[in-house]
Amino acid sequence: MEQQTEQACIICGQMKEEGIVIVSHFICEDCEAEMVSTEAEDAKYRFFVGRMKKIDLQKNA
């Protein structure tokens, strides 16, 4: 049985166990759920976009 360890979410900064990893950056399941349900017109949308810019995709992939 795999034991999960807490990681810091790049969106909220809190230590959580459950979530997803995108290019070695962790996003907790709470932030993931909020992001996918946020409309583009919502003020929080720009916040999420800014936080997601922390994910540096490889340029030579």
**pLDDT score, position 3:** 61
Q: Is 58 left (phi over 0), alpha (psi -120 to 50) or beta?
A: beta
Is 17 within 8 Å of 61 (Cβ atoms)? no
At 57 the pLDDT is 64
Residue type, 31: C
What confidence score (pLDDT) does residue 58 get?
52
Q: What is the DSSP string of 8-50?
A: E-TTT--EESSEEEETTEEEEHHHHHHHHH--TTSHHHHHHHH
Residue 31 lies in a domain: yes
pLDDT 10s digits, 28-53: 999 999 999 999 999 999 999 999 88
pLDDT at 43: 92
Domain span including residue 32: 7-53
The model's pTM is: 0.80
Per the structure, how many domains does the chain have? 1
Structural domain includes residue 61: no
Structure tokens at 9: 């979410």
Question: What local confidence, expressed as pLDDT, does residue 14 receive?
Answer: 97
